[in-house]
Amino acid sequence: EPEVTQTPSHQVTQMGQEVILRCVPISNHLYFYWYRQILGQKVEFLVSFYNNEISEKSEIFDDQFSVERPDGSNFTLKIRSTKLEDSAMYFCASSDPSPSSRSKRGASDTQYFGPGTRLTVL
């Protein structure tokens, strides 16, 4: 069964450094997402991406964050200058919406999550 993959599984960085988290979504999927989960807390939406541009982003996704689909397979999340509070598990997800799954009030397509990258900022 196709799956979303993420690399690295664990990233340790110093505060102020830039990190790039990588994801390979399921190949025929069209929507891509990043989430984060601080230890012991809930899964938080960061951003969704469709047709090579951001379609939605949360208040968390400030100028420190950027996303890119540099080629036909990878989807990346860059954090420009990491802070201690960026330490979290970062999940990538992808979905393949059918024509009827999108409406003005949200989407019913299933999101498939990757295994996550644990980011530790020291």
Please report whether residue 115 would count as binding another protein according to CB under 8 A.
Answer: yes
Q: How far is the CB of 57 from another protein (least distance, A)?
A: 8
In contact, 38 and 46? CB cutoff 8 Å:
no
Which CB sits closer to another protein, 14 or 31? 31
Of 15, 56, 70, 73, which one interacts with another protein (CB under 8 A)? 56
Per rule CB under 8 A, count of chain residues that contact another protein: 27
Task: Please state, in angstroms and as integers, the Cα–Cα distance from residue 52 to each residue in 58, 69, 72, 76, 83, following that order.
Answer: 18, 7, 10, 12, 27
In contact, 116 and 91? CB cutoff 8 Å:
yes
Q: How far is the CB of 16 from another protein (least distance, A)?
A: 27
In contact, 34 and 67? CB cutoff 8 Å:
yes
Q: Which stretch binds another protein (CB under 8 A): 14-22, 39-47, 62-70, 71-79?
A: 39-47
* Number of neighbouring beta carbons within 10 Å of residue 41: 10
Nearest Cα to Cα of residue 58 among 76, 36, 80, 78? 36
Which CB sits closer to another protein, 51 or 103? 103
Which CB sits closer to another protein, 4 or 119? 4
Interacting residues with another protein (CB under 8 A): 4, 33, 35, 41-45, 48, 55-56, 58, 89, 91, 93, 103, 105-108, 110-116
